Protein backbone atom coordinates (compact mmCIF):
# COMPACT_ATOMS: atom_id res chain seq x y z
CA UNK A 1 0.00 0.00 0.00
CA UNK A 2 1.19 3.50 -0.82
CA UNK A 3 0.52 6.56 1.31
CA UNK A 4 -0.45 10.12 0.38
CA UNK A 5 -2.41 9.15 -1.68
CA UNK A 6 -3.14 5.54 -0.76
CA UNK A 7 -3.78 2.71 -3.17
CA UNK A 8 -2.43 -0.53 -4.54
CA UNK A 9 -0.59 -0.49 -7.85
CA UNK A 10 -2.32 -3.01 -10.09
CA UNK A 11 -5.81 -2.76 -8.63
CA UNK A 12 -8.64 -2.93 -11.16
CA UNK A 13 -12.38 -2.43 -10.87
CA UNK A 14 -14.42 -5.59 -11.52
CA UNK A 15 -18.22 -5.51 -11.59
CA UNK A 16 -19.67 -8.38 -9.55
CA UNK A 17 -23.33 -7.60 -10.24
CA UNK A 18 -25.36 -10.25 -12.02
CA UNK A 19 -25.49 -10.85 -14.99
CA UNK A 20 -22.07 -9.40 -15.83
CA UNK A 21 -20.04 -10.88 -12.98
CA UNK A 22 -17.45 -13.48 -13.94
CA UNK A 23 -18.81 -16.93 -13.10
CA UNK A 24 -16.47 -18.36 -10.48
CA UNK A 25 -15.06 -21.69 -11.59
CA UNK A 26 -15.66 -21.08 -15.31
CA UNK A 27 -14.38 -17.60 -16.09
CA UNK A 28 -11.50 -16.53 -18.31
CA UNK A 29 -9.30 -13.47 -17.82
CA UNK A 30 -6.78 -12.00 -20.25
CA UNK A 31 -4.31 -9.72 -18.44
CA UNK A 32 -1.94 -7.59 -20.54
CA UNK A 33 0.84 -5.76 -18.72
CA UNK A 34 2.16 -7.44 -15.56
CA UNK A 35 5.55 -5.89 -14.78
CA UNK A 36 6.02 -8.55 -12.06
CA UNK A 37 3.00 -7.15 -10.20
CA UNK A 38 0.62 -10.11 -9.90
CA UNK A 39 -1.98 -8.79 -7.43
CA UNK A 40 -4.84 -8.52 -9.95
CA UNK A 41 -4.06 -11.86 -11.58
CA UNK A 42 -3.79 -13.70 -8.27
CA UNK A 43 -7.00 -12.08 -6.99
CA UNK A 44 -8.86 -13.29 -10.09
CA UNK A 45 -7.33 -16.74 -9.64
CA UNK A 46 -8.57 -16.80 -6.04
CA UNK A 47 -12.00 -15.79 -7.29
CA UNK A 48 -11.99 -18.89 -9.49
CA UNK A 49 -10.92 -17.70 -12.96
CA UNK A 50 -8.37 -19.07 -15.39
CA UNK A 51 -5.96 -16.22 -16.03
CA UNK A 52 -3.78 -15.77 -19.10
CA UNK A 53 -1.11 -13.14 -18.41
CA UNK A 54 1.07 -11.41 -21.00
CA UNK A 55 4.11 -9.14 -20.79
CA UNK A 56 7.16 -9.34 -23.10
CA UNK A 57 8.96 -6.64 -21.09
CA UNK A 58 9.51 -9.16 -18.27
CA UNK A 59 11.91 -11.10 -20.52
CA UNK A 60 10.82 -14.50 -19.31
CA UNK A 61 9.50 -17.46 -21.27
CA UNK A 62 6.03 -18.98 -21.33
CA UNK A 63 5.32 -20.72 -18.03
CA UNK A 64 2.73 -21.62 -15.39
CA UNK A 65 2.84 -18.90 -12.75
CA UNK A 66 0.46 -20.88 -10.54
CA UNK A 67 -2.32 -23.44 -10.84
CA UNK A 68 -4.74 -21.19 -12.76
CA UNK A 69 -2.38 -18.52 -14.12
CA UNK A 70 -0.54 -19.15 -17.39
CA UNK A 71 2.04 -16.62 -18.59
CA UNK A 72 2.82 -15.96 -22.25
CA UNK A 73 5.70 -13.87 -23.54
CA UNK A 74 3.46 -12.03 -26.05
CA UNK A 75 2.74 -8.33 -26.18
CA UNK A 76 -0.53 -6.80 -27.34
CA UNK A 77 -0.44 -4.64 -30.47
CA UNK A 78 -2.60 -3.25 -33.24
CA UNK A 79 -0.95 -5.66 -35.69
CA UNK A 80 1.16 -8.82 -35.63
CA UNK A 81 4.83 -7.87 -35.61
CA UNK A 82 8.19 -8.35 -33.97
CA UNK A 83 9.67 -5.27 -32.35
CA UNK A 84 13.26 -5.75 -33.51
CA UNK A 85 14.61 -3.05 -31.23
CA UNK A 86 13.12 -4.59 -28.08
CA UNK A 87 12.92 -8.18 -29.29
CA UNK A 88 9.24 -8.42 -28.41
CA UNK A 89 6.74 -10.71 -30.12
CA UNK A 90 3.64 -8.53 -30.53
CA UNK A 91 0.23 -9.79 -31.63
CA UNK A 92 -3.33 -8.56 -31.99
CA UNK A 93 -5.98 -9.71 -29.55
CA UNK A 94 -7.64 -11.80 -32.26
CA UNK A 95 -4.35 -13.59 -33.02
CA UNK A 96 -3.72 -14.30 -29.34
CA UNK A 97 -7.30 -15.52 -28.94
CA UNK A 98 -6.78 -17.95 -31.85
CA UNK A 99 -3.52 -19.25 -30.35
CA UNK A 100 -5.09 -19.83 -26.94
CA UNK A 101 -8.17 -21.40 -28.53
CA UNK A 102 -5.92 -24.10 -29.98
CA UNK A 103 -3.70 -24.56 -26.93
CA UNK A 104 -6.40 -24.51 -24.27
CA UNK A 105 -9.45 -25.82 -26.13
CA UNK A 106 -11.69 -22.88 -25.27
CA UNK A 107 -13.19 -22.38 -28.70
CA UNK A 108 -15.56 -19.42 -29.05
CA UNK A 109 -15.61 -18.62 -25.34
CA UNK A 110 -16.10 -15.09 -24.07
CA UNK A 111 -13.34 -13.25 -22.26
CA UNK A 112 -14.90 -12.47 -18.89
CA UNK A 113 -12.36 -9.74 -18.09
CA UNK A 114 -9.82 -8.11 -20.39
CA UNK A 115 -7.21 -6.04 -18.56
CA UNK A 116 -5.00 -3.73 -20.63
CA UNK A 117 -2.13 -1.83 -19.03
CA UNK A 118 0.44 -1.50 -21.81
CA UNK A 119 1.97 1.96 -21.46
CA UNK A 120 0.54 4.07 -24.30
CA UNK A 121 0.11 1.17 -26.77
CA UNK A 122 -3.59 1.05 -25.78
CA UNK A 123 -4.27 3.86 -28.27
CA UNK A 124 -3.44 1.62 -31.23
CA UNK A 125 -4.77 -1.58 -29.67
CA UNK A 126 -8.31 -0.41 -28.83
CA UNK A 127 -9.21 0.56 -32.43
CA UNK A 128 -7.96 -2.84 -33.65
CA UNK A 129 -10.03 -4.68 -31.03
CA UNK A 130 -13.13 -2.82 -32.20
CA UNK A 131 -12.37 -3.26 -35.93
CA UNK A 132 -11.69 -6.98 -35.57
CA UNK A 133 -14.96 -7.68 -33.75
CA UNK A 134 -13.13 -8.99 -30.68
CA UNK A 135 -14.85 -6.47 -28.40
CA UNK A 136 -18.05 -8.48 -28.90
CA UNK A 137 -16.36 -11.35 -27.00
CA UNK A 138 -15.38 -9.23 -23.97
CA UNK A 139 -17.72 -9.16 -20.97
CA UNK A 140 -15.71 -6.61 -18.95
CA UNK A 141 -12.87 -4.35 -20.04
CA UNK A 142 -10.43 -2.49 -17.79
CA UNK A 143 -7.87 -0.16 -19.36
CA UNK A 144 -5.23 2.16 -17.98
CA UNK A 145 -5.05 5.09 -20.41
CA UNK A 146 -1.92 7.22 -20.64
CA UNK A 147 -1.78 10.81 -21.86
CA UNK A 148 1.28 12.60 -23.23
CA UNK A 149 2.23 15.88 -21.58
CA UNK A 150 3.03 17.59 -24.88
CA UNK A 151 0.14 16.29 -26.99
CA UNK A 152 -1.70 18.93 -28.99
CA UNK A 153 -5.46 19.44 -28.99
CA UNK A 154 -5.95 17.32 -32.12
CA UNK A 155 -4.25 14.40 -30.38
CA UNK A 156 -6.43 14.81 -27.29
CA UNK A 157 -9.57 14.83 -29.46
CA UNK A 158 -8.39 11.72 -31.34
CA UNK A 159 -7.93 9.87 -28.07
CA UNK A 160 -11.28 11.03 -26.72
CA UNK A 161 -12.87 9.55 -29.84
CA UNK A 162 -11.12 6.23 -29.24
CA UNK A 163 -12.63 6.06 -25.76
CA UNK A 164 -16.01 7.12 -27.14
CA UNK A 165 -15.81 4.32 -29.74
CA UNK A 166 -15.78 1.74 -26.92
CA UNK A 167 -19.13 3.04 -25.70
CA UNK A 168 -20.48 3.49 -29.22
CA UNK A 169 -19.79 -0.24 -29.65
CA UNK A 170 -22.16 -1.00 -26.77
CA UNK A 171 -20.02 -1.14 -23.65
CA UNK A 172 -21.18 0.66 -20.50
CA UNK A 173 -18.73 2.51 -18.29
CA UNK A 174 -19.03 1.58 -14.63
CA UNK A 175 -15.82 2.88 -13.08
CA UNK A 176 -13.32 5.69 -13.73
CA UNK A 177 -10.38 6.83 -11.62
CA UNK A 178 -7.42 9.11 -12.22
CA UNK A 179 -3.88 8.03 -11.36
CA UNK A 180 -2.79 10.30 -8.49
CA UNK A 181 0.91 9.46 -8.95
CA UNK A 182 1.10 10.35 -12.66
CA UNK A 183 0.63 14.10 -13.17
CA UNK A 184 2.07 16.80 -15.36
CA UNK A 185 1.60 20.17 -17.01
CA UNK A 186 -0.14 20.14 -20.40
CA UNK A 187 0.73 23.12 -22.66
CA UNK A 188 -2.27 22.44 -24.93
CA UNK A 189 -4.53 22.89 -21.89
CA UNK A 190 -3.19 26.28 -20.73
CA UNK A 191 -0.44 24.52 -18.74
CA UNK A 192 -2.86 23.07 -16.23
CA UNK A 193 -1.38 20.37 -14.00
CA UNK A 194 -3.57 17.30 -14.15
CA UNK A 195 -3.43 13.54 -14.11
CA UNK A 196 -1.91 11.89 -17.17
CA UNK A 197 -3.24 8.42 -16.37
CA UNK A 198 -6.78 7.08 -15.96
CA UNK A 199 -8.22 3.68 -15.08
CA UNK A 200 -11.57 3.13 -16.82
CA UNK A 201 -13.72 -0.02 -16.79
CA UNK A 202 -16.73 -1.10 -18.85
CA UNK A 203 -19.12 -4.05 -19.10
CA UNK A 204 -21.61 -5.40 -21.60
CA UNK A 205 -24.30 -8.07 -21.35
CA UNK A 206 -23.22 -11.22 -23.17
CA UNK A 207 -24.80 -14.70 -23.35
Domain layout of the chain by residue ranges: 27-203
Count the helix, strand and coil residues of the chain and give each as a percent rounded to the nearest 5.
30, 30, 40
**112: Cα separation from own chain's centroid:** 12
Beta-strand pair 27-32/140-146: unpaired
The more confidently predicted of residues 8 and 93 is 93
158 membership: H or E segment, kind and range: helix 153-168
pLDDT in tens, 20-62: 999 999 999 999 999 999 999 999 999 999 999 999 999 999 9
Q: Rounded mean pLDDT of 163-180?
A: 94
pLDDT for residue 1 is more than 50: no
pLDDT bin (cut points 50, 70, 90) of residue 9 is low
Question: In the beta sheet, which residues pair with residue 145?
Answer: 198
| 71 neighbors 107 (Cβ within 8 angstroms) | no
Chain centroid to CA 62 = 19
Is CATH 2.115.10 the classification given to domain 27-203? no
Q: Provide the whole-model pTM.
A: 0.93
Amino acid sequence: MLKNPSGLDGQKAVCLDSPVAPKAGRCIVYSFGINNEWSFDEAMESYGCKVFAFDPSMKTGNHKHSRLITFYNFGLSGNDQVDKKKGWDLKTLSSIYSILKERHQHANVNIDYLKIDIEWAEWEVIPDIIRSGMLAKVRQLGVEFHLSRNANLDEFYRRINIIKAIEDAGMIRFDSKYNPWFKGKMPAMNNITASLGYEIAWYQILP
